Chains A and B, each alone.
Chain A
Amino acid sequence: MKIHEYQAKEMLASYGAPVPRGIPAKTVDQAYEAASKFGSCVVKAQVHSGGRGKAGGVKFAETPEKARSVAEAMLGMKLITKQTGPEGKIVRQLLISEAVDVEREFYLSITGDSERAGLVIVASAAGGTEIEETAKEHPEAIVQIPVSVIEGFKSYQGIRAAEVLGLEGDLQKQLISLLGKLVKLYLEKDCSLVEINPLVQTTDGKLLCLDAKVNFDDNALFRHPELAPMRDINEEDPKEYSASLSDLNYVSLDGDIGCLVNGAGLAMATMDIIKNFGGSPANFLDVGGSATTERVKSAFEIILSDGNVKAIFVNIFGGIMKCDIIAEGLVQATRDMGLSIPVVVRLEGTNVDLGRKIIEDSGLAIIAASDMADGARKAIAAAKGVKA
């Protein structure tokens, strides 16, 4: 789960990490009022995406009046960043942040390290830019410091980071203290990323988290009910959001062949084979191991809500999932929703004969496929409007 910058900063502040004063605003008036408290300020678009500055989503305002006009232009605008893709994201909220005098910028983050089954602190003296770019162009400028999930943060790890960032004396102490707080936050709230980019040194010698990104492990949300209100569904793909409500794993893509598959590995492989044979998958969709008729139906609804879909490929290898259950779900969904586009079905595994018979007996115009390759070819042909 992702949260907004203003929420991340509130969370950092609650752990005692230094953040600039800031006030979230949903209207122009709120923005003006907030700016009046600071004099000069920075108006920041609150969308779940990096690269906001370059896209025009972060602007300096010398006066509250200027902040008002910046907010007017920014609220409701479609922000197109490198990460949002061409469809962009609508700006619904702003963070009015006190302006600070910056001397130096750094990059600092904590993330999981699955190889060591631990955490890793990533620090670089090249702040403000994306870490991926620094990693590509100046890998030597980045240091990765492992942290144990059992032992937690140790001050020597902070000293190492400070050396890389060129921080000495009191600034080194500030960094060690900050890192301790960030690791504590990461471990206590089951984060998957805590990123401060940039971390700045102000002209009066203070470290400050000028921007903040905090992501959480979805699997651990059950033990953090306090985080639930922070979810902003406006920031999620509407199809992916409704899929998540039905416990379906769905990822929206830009092709024209809808895919309904059981199992994540097979779902990925199904996209691959479509692409390899010259077609284009519209989505990744894993209905899971214990799909019911209702889930199959919601899967169909979500696939069909994508206007680009011209054909659907159902690829099922029944293990726990019996083919007759899938077939019944399919037939029912097709009857209830009156499918207007071709559906190609490949069934294999437990109760496959029963499943095939149900589809045959239904009299519905479902195209049967003998195996995965046959199904992929038929779906590609159907999407093009030709017979395979």
Chain B
Amino acid sequence: MSIYVNKDTRVIVQGITGKQGAFHTEKMLEYGTAVVGGVTPGKGGQKLLDVPVFNTVYDAVKNTGANASVIYVPPKFAADSIIEAIDAGIQIIVCITEGIPVLDMARVKHYLDGSSSRLIGPNCPGIITPGQCKIGIMPGYIHIPGHVGVISRSGTLTYEAVKQLSDRGIGQSTVVGIGGDPIRGTGFLDCLKAFEADPETCAVVLNGEIGGSGEEEAASFIRTMTKPVAAFIGGQSAPAGKRMGHAGAIISGGKGTASGKIAALREAGAEVAMTPDQIGASLVRALEKRGIRPSEL
């Protein structure tokens, strides 16, 4: 088992004929993801890597039975692409695009709330259930199937955490990059609830960072969880008032500091790594505290 995506997930790529879209379509196919179609307006009827291209998401869904989509379109068109996927009834929409205007995402978020679709991202590496389905830009080979869920606001830091787990022989159930923007479709809380309910997930790693209050909300749920949680918060050394690359990574008005988030997570019982090289070790400690040996996962 896993959360959100698995071997039955049928994916279409929005922006499949673009440079990024084409490159990652190939990588996803190599990994074994069921990429069943692509969308680029005006290029319907073509094929890319044997994958049929359609003019609209509606056409793609009608012809392929897709239930997930991944968006690689430029920021000015990305909000419309998300709305198109919602209207076509796509269940899991993964938006990789970075740099979408905040007001566009605010409007999308309201549209999303009235639908049955789930959006992952934007500005994220995507989601992977190792050995079954990879949707996004992460290097597939660092993952191994297993029972630890990973949630992260970052891309490369997620890879770092996953590698530390895999190097210890600890596999992952599902790895979700929720993205670095201030307004996102799926948050820490959604993923934690899903992992808590997933019978195949035994523990969770949470990679947070400065800005916003998602980690604090996560902490109040972690308190009630039956599964152990390890965490790392990036940006402990970041100055206040400066945006650290991610649009959402900013300490403003004394809110969103790393120390506040670390304290909230610790208080909730999470094992917090103080440096990023200790993420894997922290998970092992969190497991051992519950009397679980990592090799028994």
Contact = CB atoms under 8 A, between A and B. Distances in A.
Interface of A: 83, 112, 114-115, 117-118, 131-132, 135-136, 148-150, 187, 190, 192, 217, 219-220, 222-223, 249, 251, 253, 261-277, 281, 284, 286, 289, 317-320, 348-350, 371-373
Given A249-B245, A266-B154, A268-B244, A220 B102 contact: yes
Nearest to A276: B275
A118 B239 contact: no
Contact of B235 (A132, A192, A261, A268): A268
Interface residues of B, number: 61
Given A131-B253, A135-B253, A187-B103, A115 B139 contact: no
B232 interface: yes
A222 B77 CA distance: 12
B76 interface: yes
Interface of B: 23-24, 75-76, 99-107, 109-110, 125, 137-139, 142, 152-160, 163, 180, 182-183, 207, 209-210, 212-213, 232, 234-239, 241-249, 253-254, 258, 274-277
Among A265, A275, A319, max chain B CB count under 10 A is at: A265
Contacts of B232: 269
Contact of B139 (A136, A253, A319, A372): A319
Contacts of B209: 265, 268
B235 A272 contact: yes
Contacts of B241: 83
Contact of A318 (B139, B183, B238, B277): B139
8 contacts: A112-B106, A117-B109, A117-B183, A271-B235, A272-B236, A272-B237, A320-B24, A349-B159
Given A219-B75, A223-B76, A373-B277, A265 B234 contact: yes
Contacts of A263: 154-157
Would you list the 9 A-B pairs with minimal beta carbon distance, nearest first? A265-B154, A264-B245, A263-B156, A265-B157, A220-B101, A117-B109, A114-B182, A269-B276, A266-B156
B180 A272 contact: no
B79 to A, nearest CB: 11
Contact of A371 (B258, B274, B277): B277
B246 A266 contact: no
Contacts, number: 168
A150 B107 contact: yes
Nearest to A252: B242
B280 to A, nearest CB: 11
A238 to B, nearest CB: 16
Given A114-B248, A264-B245, A268-B249, A253 B234 contact: no
A106 B137 CA distance: 49
At the interface, is chain A mostly helix, strand, loop or mixed? mixed
A217 B274 contact: no
B137 A320 contact: yes
A289 to B, nearest CB: 7
Given A117-B105, A264-B246, A349-B159, A271 B237 contact: yes
B162 to A, nearest CB: 10
Nearest to B212: A114
Nearest to A132: B253
A371 B153 CA distance: 22
B104 to A, nearest CB: 8
A317 B106 contact: no
Nearest to B155: A263
Contact of A275 (B75, B99, B236): B236
| Most chain A beta carbons < 10 A, residue from B157, B242, B247 | B157
Contacts of A261: 156
A372 B280 CA distance: 13
Nearest to B279: A269
Contacts of A319: 125, 137-139, 155-156, 159
B45 to A, nearest CB: 29
Contacts of A264: 154, 180, 244-246, 249
A277 B107 CA distance: 43
Nearest to A112: B102
A362 B25 CA distance: 34
B110 A266 contact: no
A265 B102 contact: no
Contacts of B258: 272
Given A223-B76, A267-B245, A284-B238, A272 B275 contact: yes
A190 B99 CA distance: 13
Given A264-B154, A349-B142, A284 B244 contact: yes
Given A266-B156, A289-B155, 20 more contacts: A83-B241, A114-B183, A117-B109, A149-B103, A190-B102, A219-B101, A251-B244, A264-B244, A265-B156, A265-B157, A265-B246, A268-B157, A268-B237, A268-B249, A271-B237, A272-B235, A275-B237, A318-B139, A348-B163, A371-B277
Contact of B242 (A251, A269, A273): A251
B244 to A, nearest CB: 5
A317 B160 contact: yes
A268 B103 CA distance: 26
A189 B182 CA distance: 19
A136 to B, nearest CB: 7
Given A320-B137, A372-B277, A190 B103 contact: yes
A373 B276 CA distance: 8
Contacts of A115: 212-213
Contacts of A274: 237
Contacts of A276: 236-237, 274-275
A251 B243 CA distance: 8
A148 B111 CA distance: 13
Contacts of A268: 154, 157, 209-210, 234-235, 237-238, 244-245, 249
Which of B156, B183, B210 has the most chain A CB within a 10 Å cutoff? B156
A249 B245 CA distance: 5
Nearest to A191: B103
Contact of A265 (B183, B207, B253): B207
Contacts of B238: 268, 271, 284
